[in-house]
């Protein structure tokens, strides 16, 4: 099960077919999700720390159909799906329904540092089912939840501080 949060309503009409790769090495379009976990998802925790990332706070549970063609991108196979600049080669991934950006890829390959957390990108709307989820506000505001999310926030913050983008900003401020 996957979880997405902050994009508003999911519908076939609003789903944007993937169409390009951004400067941050992310495919434009599709639907981004993270594995669902005890803090809803790592992305959800990041949005609590950075609420400006959220356009519309509607949570969804996402299931991927068993017939979906999923490409699991790892540190070992990423060169097969990237160009000479280590950016995703759109031609090489377009046959897949879902891209899975593994935790080890995001944490260890510089060109994927802007992903921050393990995630999937759904490229084909028809291979998923979804339902609106529920976020228990009482749980999210609890000390127990805070204790679970603090190490994750610290880890993400440390990853952000190491990115080239942050380093450029830091150097401009000096």
pLDDT tens, residue by residue, 65-88: 999 999 999 999 999 999 998 999
In this predicted structure, the answer to whether residue 63 has a pLDDT above a threshold of 90 is yes
pLDDT attached to residue 174: 62
Strand pairing category for 98-101 and 70-73: parallel
Enter the pTM of the model.
0.88
- Whether residue 165 has pLDDT greater than 80: no
* Percent with pLDDT over 90 in the chain: 60
pLDDT tens digits, 1-16: 999 998 889 999 999 9
Q: 152 with 42: CB under 8 angstroms?
A: yes
pLDDT for the residue 173: 63
Classify residue 47 as left (phi > 0), alpha (psi -120 to 50) or beta. Answer: alpha
What pLDDT, on a 0 to 100 scale, did the predictor assign at position 170?
A: 63
Structure tokens that stand for 140 in this block: 């999210």
% of residues, the chain, pLDDT over 70: 94
Q: What is the pLDDT of residue 163?
A: 75
Q: Is 36 in contact with 61 (CB distance < 8 Å)?
A: yes
Q: Where are the domains of the chain?
A: 2-173
Which segment, 28-32, 69-73, 89-93, 134-138, is predicted with the most confidence on average?
A: 69-73
């Amino acid at each position: 099960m996957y979880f997405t949060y902050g994009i508003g309503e999911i519908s076939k009409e609003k789903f944007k077919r993937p169409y390009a790769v951004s400067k941050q090495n992310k495919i434009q379009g599709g639907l981004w999700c993270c594995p669902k976990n005890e803090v809803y998802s790592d992305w959800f925790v990041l949005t609590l720390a950075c609420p400006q990332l959220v356009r519309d706070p509607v949570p969804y549970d996402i299931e991927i159909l068993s017939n979906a063609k999923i490409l699991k991108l790892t540190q070992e196979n990423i060169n097969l799906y990237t160009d000479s600049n280590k950016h995703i080669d759109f031609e090489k991934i377009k046959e897949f329904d879902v891209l899975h950006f593994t935790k080890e890829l995001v944490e260890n390959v510089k060109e994927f540092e802007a992903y921050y957390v393990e995630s999937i990108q759904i490229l084909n709307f028809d291979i998923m089912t979804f339902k609106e989820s529920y976020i228990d506000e009482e749980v999210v505001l609890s000390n127990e939840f805070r204790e679970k999310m603090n190490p994750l926030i610290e880890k993400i913050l440390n990853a952000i501080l190491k990115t080239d983008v942050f380093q450029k900003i830091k150097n401009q401020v000096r």
